[in-house]
Structure 1
Amino acid sequence: MTHSSVHLQIAPEDQPSIPNWFAEVAIVAQVFTTSGVLTRIEEQVRFARARFGIYELIDFVAVLIGYAVSAEPTLLTFSERLTPFASAFMALFGRTHLPHRSTLSRYLAALDQPTVEALRALFLDDLVLRTAQTFPPGGLWDRLGQHWLVVDVDATKHAARQRALPSLPELPEAHRRYARVCAPGYLGRKRGEVARSRTTVLQAHSHHWLGTFAGAGNGDYQAELKRACQTIITYAGWLCMPLAHILIRLDGLYGTLATLTPLLTSGLGVLVRCKDYGLLDLPAVAARLTQPPDAQTVHPESGAARSL
């Protein structure tokens, strides 16, 4: 048998491969287009800025959607992978020009809070509409057939490391980009100089993100928890579920009397690890403690008895 000769051909032009996340972005863009989300963003969200150029708000939203779906570690790597396919990417969202990453950075720096809240409300309405179409949206059912939803509200903290800058009399004052979004705060076990906190609201059964609220440094976790509760109440209203059947799971950060008192009066259920014994003085808690326990358990090894 004779072997056919192998021919190698090398071209000087680069032929970048299509990113593995491009197909997922195409699916998300198709869903947003057919559901009318992109149209509502173009018609309902306005952000006026001087020297805006040829770009609209929907152009930057498309880039952020692609960046979130791609799961690239940085915006630089995402931009490098996307640049060869810029026209095809923007065509998925009905646009023609891809903003440069520096243009996106300047746009995000100038974006005001009312525009962010308008986008947040628009995406929340779309999420609630999709959830209502597939009701019930997961959950737990007890022995009596009652439906319960568990919502996880968690406060996370991210630390940022800053390199040392020279401080000489002849040099101008040091300028750090993190100064606008981060501040000194409690870092815990994280390594860094400044921190940023974020409160996330997640529907535990369907893994729907209901909201994220962030702040520099330690943040205002009580105010962020209040906003999270307002979002959950709106979510329960769209689903026509009583507030008593919504259980909010909190961690130890919120286990104080000052934080939990507004929650207990809002009608929402709360699961929290408390560190403030002042809750035992509340009339509702004191009245429940006078009644017999629901169950008693005995540890098989230590013999310690616990009452629930």
Structure 2
Amino acid sequence: MTHPSVHLQMASEDLPSLPNWFGEVAIVAQVFSTSGVLKNIEEQVRFARARFGTYELVDFVAVLIGYAVSAEPSLLAFYERLQPFASAFMALFGRKSLPHRATLSRYLAALDQPTIEALRALFLDAVILRTAQTFPPGGLWDRQGQHWLVVDVDGTKQAARQRALPKLPDLPAAHRRFDQVCAPAYLGRKRGEVARTRTTVLQAHSHHWLGSFGGAGNGDYCAQLARACEAIISYAGWLCLPLASLLIRLDGLYGTTAVLTPLLSSGMGVIVRSKEYGLLDLPTVAARLTLPPDAQTTHP
């Protein structure tokens, strides 16, 4: 029997639980607010577009930040978990209402490249300004005592599956939305018909993201690597580090002579897996191979 001092109440209203990632979003929003990043977006980046109501660029940036932190499998799943707490979520970023996901989709489709580059530069400046002003800023020291700042540049692929499109006389011409962002590419072990390549730039010691560049299919990885080097050089310049102390780690995507030749002439160190033996004929490589080894180690 129920204890007389215990009272049970039941109601038909839903009481959803707070998402487990909401606390992390609150921390990120607080950092962005106190560091002035949100204010800089509102004041320095403008993108005027009709049919977006009262929403501004910072509203959509807040949604994308929350989506990235949440690690939800899709934007639809993110909106379903966020909907009961939409007002509280936007209040974390100093905003009022959550844009509908259809509005977000139209906004991203209309967003132009100059606005994207302005946001990229603003976020990179924010990373640099928040870097601890100590010298040297972490890194590796080899056996000769030389300091190296390691930066990882990695090109990753995301494959997408495509289902058959209906083709009937009474239906309009079919089209795929993936055609705007994906293209046929080398997939490796991934399953799919089309893919998208993303080049990421990560400072290995402080885990600072210095850049992210994407492209359909295999992407223009040569141009993306050049832009990654520009971000790395800018980052090193603010830290007053010589280019000779930078060490860039690349994977096999960049291990060709055409890609590595301009990078080797920049003065930065490179670690890369390459399949072209023609690199051994470069004057700098040939001159280094003629020198005696720096050290000899005998395995026990």
TM-score (norm 1): 0.92
Query: Could you say which residue in structure 2 is the equivalent of 1:4?
Result: 3
Query: Could you say which residue in structure 1 is the equivalent of 2:59?
Result: 59
Give 2:195's aligned amino acid: A
Where does 1:16-95 land on structure 2 (aligned, <5 Å)? 16-95=16-95
Query: Could you say which residue in structure 2 is the equivalent of 1:123?
Result: 123
Cα distance between partner residues in 2 of 1:290 and 1:28: 52
CA displacement, residues 224-278 of structure 1 (integer Å, 9 cap, x when unaligned): 1111111100010011101110100111121111111100111111011222222
CA displacement, residues 15-49 of structure 1 (integer Å, 9 cap, x when unaligned): 11111111111111111111111100000001011
> How many angstroms does 1:87 deviate by?
1.1
RMSD across aligned positions (CA) = 1.8
The alignment partner of 1:127 has SS state of helix
> Structure 1 pair 3/217, CA: closer, same or farther in 2 (3 Å)?
closer
Preserved contact between residue 33 and residue 39 of structure 1 (Cα < 8 Å): yes
Preserved contact between residue 132 and residue 238 of structure 1 (Cα < 8 Å): no
Whether 2:92 is the aligned partner of 1:96: answer: no
Query: Could you say which residue in structure 2 is the equivalent of 1:197?
Result: 197
Preserved contact between residue 52 and residue 103 of structure 2 (Cα < 8 Å): no
Query: Could you say which residue in structure 2 is the equivalent of 1:157?
Result: 157
Query: Could you say which residue in structure 1 is the equivalent of 2:261?
Result: 261
Query: Could you say which residue in structure 1 is the equivalent of 2:245?
Result: 245
Cα distance between partner residues in 1 of 2:37 and 2:181: 29
Query: Could you say which residue in structure 1 is the equivalent of 2:208?
Result: 208
Cα distance between partner residues in 2 of 1:228 and 1:26: 30
CA displacement, residues 201-236 of structure 1 (integer Å, 9 cap, x when unaligned): 111111111111110011111111111111100010
> How many angstroms does 1:61 deviate by?
0.6
Whether 2:146 is the aligned partner of 1:139: answer: no
> How many angstroms does 1:134 deviate by?
5.3
Cα distance between partner residues in 2 of 1:69 and 1:12: 32
Query: Could you say which residue in structure 1 is the equivalent of 2:231?
Result: 231
Give 1:4's aligned amino acid: H
Deviates more, 1:52-61 or 1:137-146: 137-146
> How many angstroms does 1:144 deviate by?
4.4
> How many angstroms does 1:57 deviate by?
0.5
Give 1:129's aligned amino acid: L
Cα distance between partner residues in 2 of 1:90 and 1:133: 32
Cα distance between partner residues in 1 of 2:146 and 2:291: 24
Preserved contact between residue 210 and residue 231 of structure 1 (Cα < 8 Å): yes
The alignment partner of 1:248 has SS state of strand
The alignment partner of 1:24 has SS state of helix
Query: Could you say which residue in structure 1 is the equivalent of 2:179?
Result: 179
Cα distance between partner residues in 2 of 1:256 and 1:3: 76
Cα distance between partner residues in 1 of 2:27 and 2:116: 24
Whether 2:264 is the aligned partner of 1:280: answer: no
Give 1:117's aligned amino acid: E
Flag structure 2 segments of 5+ consecutive residues without an equivalent. none
Query: Could you say which residue in structure 2 is the equivalent of 1:290?
Result: 290
TM-score (norm 2): 0.94
The alignment partner of 1:263 has SS state of helix
Give 1:177's aligned amino acid: R
Give 1:64's aligned amino acid: L
Deviates more, 1:44-53 or 1:126-135: 126-135
Give 1:198's aligned amino acid: R
Preserved contact between residue 155 and residue 198 of structure 2 (Cα < 8 Å): yes
Deviates more, 1:287-296 or 1:261-270: 287-296
Flag structure 1 segments of 5+ consecutive residues without an equivalent. 301-308
Cα distance between partner residues in 2 of 1:291 and 1:136: 30
Preserved contact between residue 195 and residue 217 of structure 2 (Cα < 8 Å): yes
In the alignment of these two chains, the number of paired residues is 299
> How many angstroms does 1:142 deviate by?
2.8
Cα distance between partner residues in 2 of 1:226 and 1:46: 27
